[in-house]
Amino acid sequence: MRTGRKIFSSFIFILLISINSFAQEKQKITVEWIYSDEGQSITQLPNYYWLTNGKAIEYDSRVAKENRVLNIFDPESLTRKPVVDLKTAITNLKDATGDKSYEYLPVPSSISKLGDKAVFVLNGDIYILTFAAADFERVTNTSEVEKNVNFSPDGNLLAYVRNNNLFCYDIRSKKETALTADGSENILNGTLSWVYWEEVFGRNDIAYWWSNDSKSIAYLQTDESNVSTIYYSDIKPWVPRVIKQKYPKIGDPNPIVKVGVIDVVNPKTTWIDLSKNPYEYIIRVNWLPNSKELAIQTMNRYQDELNILIANAGDGEAKQILKEKDPGWVNIHDDLYFLKEGREFIWMSERTGFAHLYRYSIDGNLINQITKGEWAVASSSGSAYWVHRSVSAVDEKNGLVYFTAQEKDHKEKHLYSVKFDGSDFRRITNLDGTHKIYFSPDTKYFFDTYSNIKNPPVLNLHKCSGELIKTIAESNKDLFAKINLERPTQFTVNARDGFPLPVEIVKPANFDANKKYPLIIYLYGGPYAPQVLNNWRNSIYFDNVLIENGFLTAIVDPRSACAISKKLENLLTKNLSGNVELNDLVDAVRWFKNQNYIDSSRIGVWGWSGGGSFTLNAMTNSKEFKAGIAVAAVSDQRFYDTKFGESSMKTEKENKDGFERNSFLGTAKNLHGRLMIVHGTYDDNVHIQNAWAFIDELIKNNIM
């Protein structure tokens, strides 16, 4: 249900036909330009990977492919130099693979934390590049595909998955060891089932974890035998393939998951005994600093309780130390950090309605609340917005935690520091906007990818104090100067109860307040999914295409989505895609209709995934819109997966009325305005049955 905001011009131009028949001949930006190499590269910045020695590996994708090399960057001297001889490395790559077509160095799958080698997965096989010798070593040569390749902390071993089994490769002895042998179609070792990949680990296939001493691996074993199977028919070859996917629908059986610990020298799994604390989900596994104990987070089916248990890696015994509860659901996060060799830990909780950091002793007793106030700590970056991570670094020597939060403005992310006891709280970043922070392991330096709604991203290097050392890279100013881009304006609109709804609008440079403009509103909705943010968004390019065609564009966030507090998210408990979100949208739209410059008869709405569902809600439960486009929309929450769907809606047993009330299959007969439905037949997230079922209801009611 949650995908990034994607823009397909052919979909949106239906709105141009439906709402506005007049378009200017010239466009400042074209759809072709947006998807061109130039358009795609305009805001690209180099990637950096911090090493344990305080230096960083740089990979700059802005450089022509044939000249791309891995550089070592020294934050002390601000110098960079190649870590490998590019010409020799490419020659050796051709020899190792037997493929003479390689003309550039591919992107590594993983880099050793010591900064001496990298691993590549090429055509399903693993290769190691040793930087000093520029030499490629072939690790595997199999007909099966290897994946999830990671170095051990000491850099001497590799772990990876093949055929749903976990393997270890000793780089020094060049020996491969099978760590598990029972992997099958339904038994997964060290790799995730779809629902865990999507919902629990934020689209990262994270299912095993090296111990700090590189001697053991903790891993998840998943049994999908009882999980329902979804089928897709491919379009090729001449007789189409049938593609299968294990996908648990709301109310159906979930994958059965357990935690094992295996010694990489003597491979025998010790299973962690969680029988005293029944669970539905295992959502996180963390090694303690001593490499002898694990912290395991489990969650119940309704997701309103989370337990933290400490387990002995040797005998598998586990003891619960903390229980987290929430009246709606507990959000998953990565803010668990062990201090003082595991005798204390930092934990994030939303128990007050606002996300804050707390310090505990290892037995689960609260020492003190670290941050507090009517604002939330928040992720500044990550693979998925629904997985929270606010702590950027922990400096044990000085008793400091560095974290990002929305204390200044809920639309912004800033870096802060505070002592473990909650004293000496201060904001480190000062420029208005969003700061994505990446600290060095020694906490001396951090990279800050900074942007706001007016200015595209820049990459800065700072000292931990916040002092700017150097701007490392900027977006392409010359290209920006050529396209003459119009930027958004942000403000709030009061809902019927006075709540200030975040709103954003984009107007043309020659805006005429005496003219009537049609308006297109983009939305997403849902819990904790803000779209009106003070950061750069590349979707502004397409807004400018629409503006060139005579439209104004806007974004509206309902209160549940704006990430201010968990209290607002919980308004969607048993009421997802319902009246809370719709009422806020209607209030904002009616405000727009009262503006002299808006043509109130020509307002369109569109969204993707959650925004597609919101569009169905708006088009069937209100009469405010002339046209809409629903892309990959969930038409009934019972079509969606257990983890996300049940977090807010629970199951039919507890909330049958809520499912019926919020189903757009029941409201399809009330469709008002022109609606375009867009859906991929092989959408493994929001299945095509959502569109088919909604279209069936339209047909039943003679709506064509």
What is the residue-wise DSSP string for 9-45?
Answer: HHHHHHHHHHH-----S--SS-HHHHTSHHHHHTT--
Half-sphere exposure in the Cβ direction for 29 (13 Å, CA): 27
What is the residue-wise DSSP string for 209-273?
Answer: EE-TTSSEEEEEEEE-TTS-EEEEE-S-TTTT-EEEEE--BTTSPPPEEEEEEEESSS--EEEP-
3-class secondary structure, 125: strand
Distance CA 645, CA 634 (A): 11
What phi and psi, each to the nearest 5 degrees, are found at residue 350? Answer: -110, 25
Q: Given this model, what pLDDT does residue 486 score?
A: 95
Distance CA 345, CA 364 (A): 9
Q: Give the count of beta carbons closer than 10 Å to the beta carbon of residue 77.
A: 8
Distance CA 512, CA 505 (A): 15
What phi and psi, each to the nearest 5 degrees, are found at residue 93? Answer: -65, -45
Write the Ramachandran bin of 588: left for phi over 0, alpha for psi from -120 to 50, otherwise beta. alpha
Amino acid at 314: G
* Torsion, Cα of 632, 247, 197, 145 (10° steps): -110
Spatial contact of 306 and 283, defined as CB atoms under 8 Å apart: yes
3-state secondary structure 484-537: CCCCEEEEEEECCCCCEEEEEEECCCCCCCCCCEEEEEECCCCCCCCCCCCCCC
**Quick one: tokens of 82?**
């190649």
Distance CA 2, CA 576 (A): 13
* Residue stretches of the chain with pLDDT short of 50: 4-10, 17, 21-27
**Quick one: tokens of 101?**
């077509």
Helical segments of 538-688, H only: 540-548, 566-569, 579-593, 610-621, 642-649, 652-661, 664-667
Q: Given this model, what pLDDT does residue 28 score?
A: 66
147-150 long-range contacts (CB < 8 A, ≥24 apart) are 147/121, 147/191, 147/205, 148/190, 148/191, 148/205, 148/207, 148/208, 149/109, 149/110, 149/119, 149/121, 150/110, 150/208, 150/210
Q: Whole-model pTM?
A: 0.94
Please identify which residue in the block is written with the tokens 């040793």. 130
**Cis bond upstream, residue 237 (ω within 30):** yes
Please identify which residue in the block is written with the tokens 């950091």. 357
Spatial contact of 474 and 483, defined as CB atoms under 8 Å apart: no
**Quick one: tokens of 517?**
């403009």
Write out pLDDT tens, residues 153-176: 999 999 999 999 999 999 999 999
Specify the length of the chain in residues.
704
Q: Given this model, what pLDDT does residue 12 score?
A: 54
Q: Given this model, what pLDDT does residue 384 score?
A: 86
Give the residue from 427, 448, 416 showing the smallest Cα distance to 45. 448
Distance CA 231, CA 245 (A): 6
Q: Write out the H or E segment, with its range, that includes residue 96.
A: helix 86-97
Spatial contact of 314 and 324, defined as CB atoms under 8 Å apart: no
Amino acid at 467: E
